[in-house]
Amino acid sequence: MNSIDPRVMKELLQLQILNKMSLLSGDTSTSGSDDSGDFGALLEAIMGQAASSGSNDTTLSSTLGQTTGNIPSALIALNKSYTPLQSVSKESASTQYDNLIEAASKRFGVDSSLVKAVIQQESHFNHRAVSSAGAKGLMQLMDGTGRGFGVTNPFDPQQNVNAGTHFLSNLLKKYEGNEGVALAAYNAGPNRVDRLGIRNDQDLADRIHLLPRETQAYVKKVLGHKISFST
């Protein structure tokens, strides 16, 4: 029986959520076709690629591109690298903060690609970044949040990444691993997310329009960055 990389399955599910979020937020750059049909087509195409060692990648990319654009090509490569029941390493974009990120990720149990995605969106890896609201550093921590995690200098990369990853870890635990919801809470605050009754990524897809447009865009962009850093 042919296998599909569980990482690919997870990313496909997130793509389905991203598509719903785009439609609900009025993003006309995303196809308006049926989500369940798109998901089924993606899964069938990737499974077909796994079943045939001689399948044509160009043809497959074209088929997948009809539903989700360029992102699936990364998923094809990811799935081709999959070996069931064996350890498969991830290749991530290299940054000067890789060691800090990897250490914090292991310490707090957060995927390093997600941490990098948050940093990319928050500060573009500028440890001196300050937002108009006063958020500081790589992971754009507000002073109160930073102090709660023992930060004395928000511009110190190690302190900032440790605190931001710890905060993100707490949110992932609170929302039972639903990354989209954790990201929405990271951006808009957990109280706001809780008031809307959003507990999982399906709730998020259904109620994304109730969150600020900034948060809607934030979740979509970070999940997109995560896919890039994961492949």
pLDDT score, position 1 = 47
d(CA 96, CA 116): 11
| Residue-level pLDDT at 151 | 98
- pLDDT recorded at residue 230: 85
How many Cβ atoms are within 10 Å of 171's Cβ, its own excluded? 20
Per domain, the residue ranges of the chain are: 6-80, 98-230
Contacts for 103-109: CB closer than 8 Å, 24+ residues apart: 104/161, 104/162, 104/165, 104/166, 105/165, 107/162, 107/165, 108/162, 108/165, 108/166, 108/168, 108/169, 109/169
pLDDT (0 to 100) of residue 77? 47
Residues known to be catalytic: 122
Main-chain phi, psi angles of 20, to 5 degrees: -65, -40
Determine contact, residues 78/8, Cβ cutoff 8 Å.
Answer: yes
Q: pLDDT by residue for the chain (231 residues), tens digit each?
A: 455 555 555 556 566 566 655 554 455 444 444 444 555 555 555 555 545 544 444 444 444 444 444 444 444 444 444 444 333 333 444 568 999 999 999 999 999 999 999 999 999 999 999 999 999 999 999 999 999 999 999 999 999 999 999 999 999 999 999 999 999 999 999 999 999 999 999 999 999 999 999 999 999 999 999 998 987
In CATH, the number for domain 98-230 is: 1.10.530.10
pLDDT at residue 12, as a whole number: 60
pTM of the model: 0.65
Q: How much is the pLDDT for 41?
A: 56
pLDDT confidence of residue 86: 36
